[in-house]
């Protein structure tokens, strides 16, 4: 059985070792070279949703979500901060406000259109990528008009043109397809997902956007949720215990996304398009977890079911009966689908290194443009 408790006492040495590794991996935001921060517009799913689902549907992700950093529910499916939060910190700018936030929103540093559960297809179903872009276009039209009338906490025309547009979506398209289709048919659907992302980038470019930051999708076959619920086939597991066919589909998606970015660079001469290999970043942490000070890389911190995955689709994190690991534990997976703040901090540090970016580009490259 997995030892899952609520006691806050943590063995001192492992915790300090873990803390040092995280601190070394995540550069302090005080080192940002920004003289003027860009505004950020983010499109995506739960990997970067900072509260869109909560404010859009009036549903809260209750405790223990948010326990590590915010010490309360923050609208994030995580115990603390997401990758997008760490990226904002690296620029010394505030966390992104969900576009749908109606109570005291501040959009001076951008807006977050990401909503948990979002996909690229089908179109026009809240809150697919197409809907998120439509919301942005309305926001794009109205903000300068209202700014001229004296409204504050909005975005100027100049900042829309110089803003950074982040796209992080596609995981749910693949994951959802695998629930009812065999691998070969999932792969056949991938070009349609890529087409929607391409159209979204084109659409924002046609309305003045010229700086794009595109994340590929992570190792779907390493998620405890998939490992616990997929049909078991011993020949379909890799040396680290992940499902090869799921990861292979993610790699095919990522390769097509990379090619799409290359094509757009040749077509958008005035644009900067950076492709970021999130798959490699996440798989490296999972496959080398001990090196980074983590343990149980395929086990959810918050869930139900014991070893090896601590995931049960009927008793998920926050549902009556769930178990949760001790705060400070070195887990990579938070709830079987999403990652812990500790893992997200490592992911962010890798992104900021520019080693995983094509072309090699520092995240703060856009802040002085």
pLDDT in tens, 37-93: 789 999 999 999 999 999 999 998 999 999 999 999 999 999 999 999 999 999 999
Segments forming the whole domain that contains residue 124: 36-299+340-358
Domain for residue 20, yes or no? no
Helix (H) or strand (E) holding 85: helix 83-90
What are the catalytic residues?
46, 335, 338
Cis peptide before 195 (omega within 30 of 0): no
Query: What are the tens digits of pLDDT across the range 16-44?
Result: 344 444 444 444 434 556 767 789 999 99
CB 285, CB 256: distance < 8 Å: no
Domain contains 219: yes
The reply to whether the predicted model has a pTM over 0.85 is: yes
Hey, what are 258's tokens? 């990379």
Q: Does the residue 133 lie in any domain?
A: yes
pLDDT digits (tens), the chain, 369 positions: 344 444 333 333 333 344 444 444 444 434 556 767 789 999 999 999 999 999 999 998 999 999 999 999 999 999 999 999 999 999 999 999 999 999 988 899 999 999 999 999 999 999 999 999 999 999 999 998 888 888 877 888 889 999 999 999 999 999 999 999 999 999 999 999 999 999 999 999 999 999 999 999 999 999 999 999 998 788 999 999 999 999 999 999 999 999 999 999 999 999 999 999 999 999 999 999 999 999 999 999 999 999 999 999 999 999 999 999 999 899 999 999 999 999 999 999 999 999 999 999 999 999 866
d(CA 47, CA 337): 9
Is 190 among the domain residues?
A: yes
Q: Which residues contact 282 (CB under 8 A, 6 or more apart)?
A: 218, 219, 222, 339, 347
- Per the structure, how many domains does the chain have? 1
Q: Is residue 311 part of a domain?
A: no
Mean pLDDT of the chain: 90
C-alpha to C-alpha distance for 367 and 362, rounded to whole angstroms: 10
Q: What is the CATH number of the domain that holds 129?
A: 3.40.50.1110
């Amino acid at each position: 059985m997995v030892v899952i408790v609520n006691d806050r006492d943590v063995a001192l040495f492992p915790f300090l070792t873990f803390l040092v590794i995280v601190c070394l991996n995540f550069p302090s935001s005080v080192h940002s070279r920004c003289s003027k921060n860009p505004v950020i517009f983010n499109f995506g799913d739960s990997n970067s949703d900072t509260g869109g689902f909560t404010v859009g549907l009036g549903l809260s992700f209750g405790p223990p979500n948010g326990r590590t950093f915010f010490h309360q529910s923050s609208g994030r499916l995580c115990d603390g901060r997401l990758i997008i939060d760490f990226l904002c910190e690296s620029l010394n700018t505030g966390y992104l406000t969900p576009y749908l936030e109606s109570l005291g929103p501040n959009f001076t540093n951008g807006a977050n259109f990401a909503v948990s559960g979002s996909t690229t297809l089908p179109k026009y179903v809240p809150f697919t990528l197409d809907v998120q872009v439509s919301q942005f276009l309305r926001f794009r039209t109205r903000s300068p008009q209202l700014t001229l009338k004296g409204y504050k906490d909005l975005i100027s025309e100049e900042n829309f043109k110089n803003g950074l547009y982040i796209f992080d979506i596609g995981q749910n398209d693949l994951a959802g397809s695998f629930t009812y289709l065999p691998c070969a048919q999932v792969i056949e659907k991938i070009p349609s997902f890529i087409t929607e992302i391409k159209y979204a980038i084109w659409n924002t470019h046609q309305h003045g956007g010229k700086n794009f930051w595109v994340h590929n999708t992570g190792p779907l076959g390493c998620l405890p949720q998939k490992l616990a619920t997929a049909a078991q086939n011993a020949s379909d597991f890799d040396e680290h215990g992940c499902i090869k066919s799921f990861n292979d589909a993610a790699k095919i998606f990522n390769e097509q996304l990379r090619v799409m970015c290359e094509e757009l660079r040749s077509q958008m001469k005035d644009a900067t398009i950076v492709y970021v290999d999130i798959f490699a970043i996440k798989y490296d942490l999972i496959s080398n977890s001990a090196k980074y000070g983590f343990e149980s890389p395929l086990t959810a911190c918050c869930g139900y079911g014991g070893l090896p995955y601590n995931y049960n689709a009927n008793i998920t994190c926050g549902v009556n009966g769930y178990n949760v690991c001790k705060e400070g534990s070195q887990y990579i997976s938070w709830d079987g689908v999403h990652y812990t703040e500790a893992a997200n901090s490592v992911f962010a540090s890798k992104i900021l290194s520019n080693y995983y970016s094509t072309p090699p580009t520092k995240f703060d490259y856009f802040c002085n443009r």
